[in-house]
Amino acid sequence: MYVLDMTNKKINVNKLQANISKVLRETQKGDVFEVVRYSKTVAMLISPEHYGHLKGDCKKCVQDLRKLVKE
């Protein structure tokens, strides 16, 4: 199972807009950003690599759950 390091950096929407290129470069290198608006999380920015691993793990979990339901 793939474990994503969820140590993340919080960034508000205005700061993200002002620094989008820098944030995307950091995300590409593996940093995770929690995007907040009015102190509430509205999005998580993760690299395509992290997303691929999470998506794969999720598919496996669903397959395992389907097997359990059939038993």
- CA–CA distance from 20 to each of 24, 33, 43, 45 (Å)? 6, 11, 14, 11
Does pTM surpass 0.85? Answer: no
Residue ranges of domains in the chain: 8-70
8-70 classified as CATH 3.40.50.620 = no
pLDDT in tens, 7-57: 689 999 999 999 999 999 999 998 999 999 999 999 999 998 888 877 777
